């Protein structure tokens, strides 16, 4: 009894009940951010009709994407400076305020601004949730908890489109934002109490405001170019060229700032860490390819297989469910295997082979075998996500967990945007196909798409996916396999440099 009292609080391991209580809080916050990325899509036509502006509807998605991606590294740095609890609560509070503003928006452009505010709140919640688990659980056991995060993404992917459509049709489109209020207050209440017991690793630092502004502006410029290229403006137009040149200039200035300032936004030892670098690039290619497939596969289901819009959404179930199963298997393997990279390397090889088969036999595979192949691809991809996250967190010091996790998530999102843009360039512009085949936006709107053209285009889309998985496998193979720190005594040791 006396020994327990004399043990310092930060070193005392959390009980299973403590971990479960904290997990419920952070997973609710994570669910808020993940759900809001999917629930809006099916409600957008209704929003456009009722607010009288269909032309600028894509800005509802773009504004949230811009804000959430740009602020992700800021949340990580602030969490390392001020602690996880206060930053998590601040993010939830901003998200709730943004949700209320969205729900009462009288016009589309007010809604766009409110979505930007909402994105500023939700942008760091996912990275913070992963960081909080890293604070609670040593790397050796952390993989099994990454599975819970995969289940959050799967449930939000399944529930979001359904809830968005039902609420917009049966209630009012604003209900998709009002639902965030009770969920947000529950997440705030749970996190406020549970995170008080969280071990603390923050250190006093100064926030590099100029570096943050440069990186945010560079990120927003790049995402605008990727969002508008091939849709609002041709890829070779001067607005896209100006945005890309601005991106290059801003990121160059940010790199210079990182090298010259005493305390940069992203410390040099994190950026130069080979495990962080290779793990981030591997996960970026893998997750980016997955996001690209989820965006464009419904188009394949509708135009090549002749499914309805609702059934094409159901066709994505093998892709989303398989990822959770893959993450579960590799997460459990982390706790038992010394050479923990072997599982995701085999998984990525399987995903690469599955995508190659989809490319070779594009348009020839019946629905059921096609869905089985999708499940195999997603099962293989899912194995890389827990391993990449845990490896990156295992390679940095405890007080850098927030920054490293946020940086990894940030570059995953950038990778996803780049690969989605690449897939869009193939489908909408026939770029790289060498056949002159391309999909006319007018034909897509009118439903007069030629099936043979789509089969040709998706032959190259699936080929690009194969290349994406191959690059993920290449960089994962180059990532150093550091021993995972175990329980309390091991976790207290300094990370090998």
pLDDT at site 300: 84
pLDDT at site 199: 62
Q: DSSP letters of 63-126?
A: HHHHHHHHHHHHHHHHHHHH-HHHHHHHHHHHHHHHHHHHHT-SSHHHHHHHHHHHHHHHTTHH
Indicate if the pLDDT at residue 467 is higher than 60. Answer: yes
111-142: pLDDT as tens digits? 889 988 998 888 778 778 777 777 777 766 66
- Would you say 377 and 355 are in contact if contact means Cβ atoms under 8 Å apart? yes
Indicate if the pLDDT at residue 11 is higher than 50. Answer: no
- Would you say 133 and 156 are in contact if contact means Cβ atoms under 8 Å apart? no
Closest CA to 271 of 376, 431, 462, 410: 410
485-497: pLDDT as tens digits? 654 334 334 333 3
pTM of the model: 0.75
Residue that is written with structure tokens 């409600």 in the block? 43
Indicate if the pLDDT at residue 32 is higher than 80. Answer: no
| Pure H helices in 273-339 | 274-303, 309-314, 317-334
pLDDT at site 197: 67
Integer Cα distance of 480 and 395 in angstroms: 10
pLDDT at site 355: 93
- Would you say 390 and 337 are in contact if contact means Cβ atoms under 8 Å apart? no
Indicate if the pLDDT at residue 449 is higher than 50. Answer: yes
Average pLDDT score over the chain: 78
202-254: pLDDT as tens digits? 555 667 778 878 888 888 888 788 777 766 777 788 988 999 999 999 989 98
pLDDT at site 89: 86
Please report which helix (H) or strand (E) contains residue 189, including its range: helix 180-194
The residue ranking higher by pLDDT, 303 or 374, is 374
Integer Cα distance of 103 and 111 in angstroms: 8
pLDDT at site 269: 76
């Amino acid at each position: 009894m006396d020994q327990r009292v004399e043990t310092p609080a930060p070193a005392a391991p959390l009980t299973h009940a403590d971990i479960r209580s904290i997990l419920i809080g952070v997973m609710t916050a994570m669910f808020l951010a993940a759900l809001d990325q999917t629930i809006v899509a099916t409600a957008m036509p209704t929003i456009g009709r009722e607010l009288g502006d269909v032309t600028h509807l894509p800005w509802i998605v773009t504004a949230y994407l811009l804000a959430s991606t740009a602020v992700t590294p800021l949340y990580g740095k602030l969490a390392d400076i001020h602690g996880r609890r206060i930053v998590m609560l601040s993010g939830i509070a901003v998200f709730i305020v943004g949700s209320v503003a969205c729900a009462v928006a009288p016009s589309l452009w007010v809604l766009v601004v409110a979505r930007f505010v909402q994105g500023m709140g939700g942008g760091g919640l996912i990275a913070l949730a992963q960081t909080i688990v890293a604070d609670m659980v040593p790397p050796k056991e952390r993989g099994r908890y990454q599975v819970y995060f995969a289940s959050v993404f799967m449930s939000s992917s399944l529930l979001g489109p359904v809830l968005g459509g039902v609420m917009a049709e049966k209630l009012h489109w604003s209900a998709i934002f009002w639902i965030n209020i009770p969920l947000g207050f529950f997440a705030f209440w749970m996190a406020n109490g549970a995170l008080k017991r969280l071990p603390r690793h923050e250190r006093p630092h100064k926030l590099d405001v100029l570096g943050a502004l440069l990186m945010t502006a560079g990120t927003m410029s790049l995402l605008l170019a990727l969002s508008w290229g091939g849709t609002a403006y041709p890829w070779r137009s001067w607005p896209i060229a100006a945005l890309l040149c601005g991106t290059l200039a801003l990121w160059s200035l940010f790199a210079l700032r990182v090298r010259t300032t005493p305390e940069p936004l992203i410390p040099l030892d994190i950026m130069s860490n080979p495990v962080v670098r290779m793990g981030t690039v591997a996960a970026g290619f893998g997750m980016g390819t997955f996001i690209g497939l989820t965006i464009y596969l419904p188009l394949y289901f509708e135009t090549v297989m002749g499914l309805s819009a609702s059934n094409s959404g159901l066709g994505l179930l093998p892709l989303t469910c398989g990822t959770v199963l893959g993450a579960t298997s590799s997460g459990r393997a982390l706790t038992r295997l010394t050479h923990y990279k072997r599982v995701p390397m085999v998984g990525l090889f399987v995903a690469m082979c599955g995508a190659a088969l989809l490319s070779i036999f594009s348009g020839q595979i019946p629905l059921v075998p096609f869905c089985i192949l999708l499940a195999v691809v997603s099962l293989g991809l899912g194995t890389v996500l827990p391993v990449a996250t845990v490896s990156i967190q295992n390679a940095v010091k405890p007080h850098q967990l927030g920054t490293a996790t946020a940086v990894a998530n940030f570059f995953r999102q950038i990778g996803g945007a780049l690969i989605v843009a690449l897939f869009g360039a193939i489908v909408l512009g026939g770029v790289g196909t060498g056949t002159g085949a391309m999909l006319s936006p007018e034909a897509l709107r009118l439903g007069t798409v030629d099936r043979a053209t789509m089969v040709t285009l998706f032959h190259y889309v699936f080929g690009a996916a194969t290349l994406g998985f191959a690059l993920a496998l290449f960089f994962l193979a180059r990532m150093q396999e550091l021993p995972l720190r175990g329980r309390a005594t091991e976790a207290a040791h300094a990370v090998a440099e």
